[in-house]
Structure 1
Amino acid sequence: MSVPRSIRIALIDDHVLVRDGVRSLLSAWPHFQVVAQAESGAEALELVASTELDLLLVDIGLKDINGLELTRRLCDLYPGIKILILSMYDNQEYVRTSIKAGALGYVLKNAPSTELVAAIEAIVAGGSFYSPELARKLAVGSREEIELTPRELQVLAMLARGLNNKEVARELDISVRTVETYRLSIRRKLNIDTSAALVKYALEQGLISI
């Protein structure tokens, strides 16, 4: 996975001050370009149809439809689109719904700027990202219908939190190659190819909960 040299971002939020603040924050990183903005779901649908983007930052509380429904519509229309929810709501059901809708991450608006940057880069590189406050609530649940080992379940929970192979290896004090082996085994057992699909499946099957 690699991050494009320049990341084209759209801000979808109904508050001008919030959009201005996020745009100003992201301008500190030369490889981020805020190329479009919208304050409603209808405007967002129009700009996505006409603008080349790498990622959308979407708020939940929009003027016409909520950001979760907008995410679902966009993911249905444009498979492979990358959406990061940026919200003030630390709400488990919202996070769960955002994942089912197709979002690849969820960051709280009170998070530090470095967290938002990490989320954008992780998602554009092909991964997923959730604010640590939310990720800590991810817990391993029932595994009756699949045959993952305890270690595989531990790795799965860490991947769902958005950790990469090196970070998982560091936390578990194992080699990166061993993490890759666990990751391959998990994907093979679940018949899943992408990190985003892995998180979505795990939530839907009760393997992890928020």
Structure 2
Amino acid sequence: MTEIKQNMINVLLVDDHPLVRDGIRARLESEQGIYIAGEAQNGQEALDFARQQLPDVVLMDVSMPVMNGLEATRIFKETWPDLRILILSMHDNREYIMQLIQGGASGYILKDVGSDELIKAIETVHQGGTYFSSGASQSLFRAETVIPPAQPDSGLTPRESTVLKHLAEGQSNKEIARILDISVRTVETHRQNIKQKLNIHTAAGLARYAIENGLID
């Protein structure tokens, strides 16, 4: 079993196709700051690995034998709530994506993305953000999808709603501070207030709330 490395983003790569794993490993191994800590070919193997050595990010396919990515995601988040799950899949079905977000995934990217976007997605979810590739985002937010309006009793201020929108789009505190021309500390304060008011304490949960309540156009 590979050792976890300090000061690196330790990634567990989970896919049932060896050629896919080989290709992703070859690309990520050339990236400073990202380390492939282990590989698994299904969700059960991934969970077994995590029980011995906990990675920072699980980069996982959905359609796999023995245990699929959706079931594994739910168990991962129940067992290790702070673990970051990034789904890498060929499926762009909205209901499919929503189930994984609801299960605790922090991001969803399609297998047609370039390697630079894959790296950006890993870094974003590791930093606590959420990330959706353009294809996944189009499926989530397509015009014909009916999304219920924001709940009037959420208690969020207009500024907090704006911050939540940016958080749900995967932007970091620093990026939000620059966009809104406020300090990073102010963004962090808004973020904590949002979590307390909504009683939601994960990035994936905040993203799900924003999606379900129409805060993202």
In the other structure, the counterpart of 2:154 is 146
Runs (4+) off by over 6 Å: none
**Structure 1 residue 127 corresponds to structure 2 residue 134:** no
Task: Find the counterpart in structure 1 of residue 3 from structure 2.
Answer: none
Answering whether residue 183 of structure 2 is matched by residue 176 of structure 1, we say yes
SS of alignment partner, residue 147 of structure 1 = coil
Give distance in 2, aligned partners of 1:75 and 1:24: 28
CA RMSD of aligned residues (A): 2.7
**Does structure 1 residue 197 correspond to structure 2 residue 205?**
yes
1:85 equivalent in structure 2: 87
Contact map agreement 1:165 1:176 (CA 8 A) in 2: no
Gaps of 5+ in 2: 1-5, 142-146
**C-alpha distance in 2 between matches for 1:51 and 1:179:** 33
Query: Is 1:160 aligned with 2:168?
Result: yes
Distance across 2 between alignment mates of 1:208 and 1:145? 14
Match of 2:117 among 115, 119, 141: 115
**Distance in structure 2 (CA, Å) of the matches to 1:31 and 1:185:** 32
- Give 1:151 deviation, angstroms: 4.3
Question: Which sits farther off after the overlay, 103-112 or 48-57?
Answer: 48-57
Partner of 1:95: 97
Which ranges of structure 1 fall in alignment gaps of 5 or more residues? none
Query: Does the aligned pair in 1 maintain the 2:89–2:110 contact within 8 Å?
Result: yes
- Once the 2 structures are TM-superposed, how far is the Cα of residue 102 of structure 1 from its aligned partner? 1.2
Deviations 1:137-167 (A, max 9, x none): 4578332332334443333222101011332
Distance 1:120 1:143, change over 3 A: same
Percent identity between the aligned chains? 41
User: Structure 1 length normalisation: TM-score?
Assistant: 0.82
Q: Secondary structure at the match of 2:91?
A: coil
Paired residue for 1:104? 106
Aligned 8 A contact 1:140 1:154 in 2: no
- Give the direction of change, closer, same or farther, for the CA distance of 1:189–1:76 in structure 2 (3 Å limit): closer
Structure-2 change in CA distance of 1:114 and 1:141 (3 Å): farther
- Taking structure 2 as the reference length, the TM-score comes to 0.80
Pair 1:38–1:181, CA change in 2 (3 A):
closer
Cα distance, 1:90 vs structure 2: 1.6
Where 1:36 maps in the other structure, the secondary structure is: strand
Amino acid at match of 1:146: S
